[in-house]
Structure 1
Amino acid sequence: MPDQPARDPVADPAALRRLLPPDPTGVDLDDDQLLAMIDPGDRDEPRLRVNFVSTLDGSSTADGLSGSLGGPADKRVFDLLRRVSDVVVVGAGTVRDEGYGPMRLDDASVAWRRGRGLPDHPVFALVSATLRLDPGSPVLRDAPVRPVVLTTDQADPEARRALEGVADVVACGRDRVDPRLLREALVARGLRQLHCEGGPTLFGDLVAADEVDELFLTHSPTLEGGVGPRIARSTTGVAGDLRELELAHVLVAGDLLLTRHVRRRAPRA
């Protein structure tokens, strides 16, 4: 195999350039340009986005965590997606595994949101069928906006009462959290721009219910070997129909690719 030409190192690991749609300038994108690319547009139209990172062989984690896969450029897009959201939805297992803290945006994001008439911070919504959550956890106790916990009718009543001191607890199904009811419950609160950060089980259930409108997927230039989980793993146990999406953009940061795919369908109420 012939030698590959040497490439210039990436001076700024958070720098991003646009491959698609083609950008003849080839310059690094600033935050305003990135925000224009991920702006949901009509904020009155409900939209559920999902953000994930994956190795090239399909694993969502390395050593049980996703944080080591993305890098600064992925974190930059991750933060901007939070900035434009009304609510960030995360499974309780992912919150525990990834060490989530309170959903508090930086000063630049707060200023951006204020300039558009949005609340300073998005709502944090945790999904837990069993309510095995600590009411004293900083992610709940120190949240700048009262969180929402999405659970089931059969969740432990005592755990529910304890959590109601720090969060709004909403049942979205009898014995499992129904993705359609989850979406309806949040939209009914005026939270129309939903952004999901995982984990794989929640994403799989959303796909099975055809509730995913957009997927932002970072392709880590790594191979994991097949031990880690894939990015979507439904609890239904039944393979659903394929969901076709259209490629909206491709960004590049060194060897990292960041894609956005959009599900085309009629506007939803």
Structure 2
Amino acid sequence: MSDPAPSDVPAIHRLSPLPSQTGLTDDEITALYLEGAGDPWLRVNFVSSVDGAATHQGLSGALSNDVDGRVFDILRRLCDVVLVGAGTVRAEGYGAMRVDVASQGARSGAGMTPHPVFAIVSAGLDLDPRSPIFREAPERPIVLTTELSRPEARDALSEVADVVVCGRERVQAERGLAVLHERGLTRIHCEGGPRLFADLIAARAVDELCLTMSPLLEAGTSSRIATGAAPIVPLGLRLAHTLQGDDTLLLRYVRA
């Protein structure tokens, strides 16, 4: 069994369905997030303030804390590919898709690549092929784009990533997911942003939402975790478990 969290990280307990008596180890947390997960499986991970803000001063990472970060790292252990919208990649300052040493060991022990593949959704290809995201990637990234993206940008990025057209004016969620599945990347972990999440909801493709409730009141004009104009039929979810670390709640919802 893995060691508990470092002493400077608050312990995480299970509140439901059955309360845990002691802090959970990484292995125990991993088992909770594997429970009921199929293959293929699309997991979406977000953090929100308790009054519904998706960001603090424009960044979702600013709402995070050590409790959220611990589970965030564990969730990256469980996927074949991390899927993120280009706007979120730029705003949050993503680098190459690498996980820590403990996660590399856990992934290798499960017969997976040491690091997940990085898949970026970008309609306009406003991405720098010289970025560490591409130049330092341990696994060749994938960029999902549109017919209207600039041919010269596609050519430049094709030197450092697999660039795939998945729609004319915007990336079609169903086509993008099919591209990943065709490459054997069936356990998908989406880290945003809100427009990509809305597209996945509209496509009825979401199997799981992992939502961290940060104990903050933000007010202001921050967006929701999903924002999109397309009308949709609500997708029903059920609460699989609730974890708590200090005043932070970690909710796991799966498709009903």
* TM-score of Structure 1 vs Structure 2, range by shorter chain: over 0.9
Deviation, 1:222, is 1.1
In structure 2, the partner of 1:240 is 232
Alignment equivalent of 1:72, drawn from 42, 50, 66: 66
1:96 pairs with 2:90: yes
TM-score in terms of structure 2 length: 0.94
Deviation, 1:42, is 6.4
- Letter of the aligned partner of 2:91 in structure 1? D
CA distance in 2 between partners of 1:89 and 1:40 (Å)? 21
Unaligned runs of 5+ in 2: 1-6
In structure 1, the partner of 2:24 is 29
1:110 pairs with 2:104: yes
1:263 pairs with 2:233: no
Q: Could you tell me whether the CA contact under 8 Å between 1:54 and 1:218 is conserved in 2?
A: yes
Q: Could you tell me whether the CA contact under 8 Å between 1:152 and 1:171 is conserved in 2?
A: yes
Secondary structure of residue in 1 paired with 2:88: helix
Alignment equivalent of 2:127, drawn from 119, 123, 133: 133
User: For 1:5-44, what aligned pairs fall within 5 Å after superposition?
Assistant: 12-23=8-19, 25-39=20-34
Taking only aligned residues, the RMSD between alpha carbons, in angstroms, comes to: 1.3
Number of residue pairs matched by the alignment: 250
Secondary structure of residue in 2 paired with 1:33: helix
1:170-204 deviation per Cα after TM superposition (whole angstroms, max 9, x unaligned): 11111110011111110000000000000111111
CA distance in 1 between partners of 2:204 and 2:129 (Å)? 32
Q: Could you tell me whether the CA contact under 8 Å between 1:47 and 1:193 is conserved in 2?
A: yes
Unaligned runs of 5+ in 1: 1-10, 265-269
Q: Could you tell me whether the CA contact under 8 Å between 2:10 and 2:246 is conserved in 1?
A: no
Specify the structure having the higher radius of gyration (Cα).
1
- Letter of the aligned partner of 2:15 in structure 1? L
CA distance in 2 between partners of 1:65 and 1:40 (Å)? 30
Cα distance, 1:14–1:139 mapped onto 2, change above 3 Å? farther
Q: Could you tell me whether the CA contact under 8 Å between 1:153 and 1:174 is conserved in 2?
A: yes
CA distance in 1 between partners of 2:149 and 2:230 (Å)? 24
Deviation, 1:12, is 4.2
Q: Which moved more, 1:160-169 or 1:107-116?
A: 107-116
TM-score in terms of structure 1 length: 0.90
- Letter of the aligned partner of 2:188 in structure 1? L
1:106-137 deviation per Cα after TM superposition (whole angstroms, max 9, x unaligned): 11111111111111111000110001110001
Q: Percent identity?
A: 54
- Letter of the aligned partner of 2:247 in structure 1? D
Cα distance, 1:169–1:260 mapped onto 2, change above 3 Å? same
Deviation, 1:41, is 6.0
CA distance in 2 between partners of 1:168 and 1:81 (Å)? 24
Secondary structure of residue in 1 paired with 2:198: helix
Q: Could you tell me whether the CA contact under 8 Å between 1:40 and 1:84 is conserved in 2?
A: no
- Letter of the aligned partner of 1:243 in structure 2? L
CA distance in 2 between partners of 1:40 and 1:118 (Å)? 18
Cα distance, 1:212–1:243 mapped onto 2, change above 3 Å? same
Q: Could you tell me whether the CA contact under 8 Å between 1:13 and 1:254 is conserved in 2?
A: no
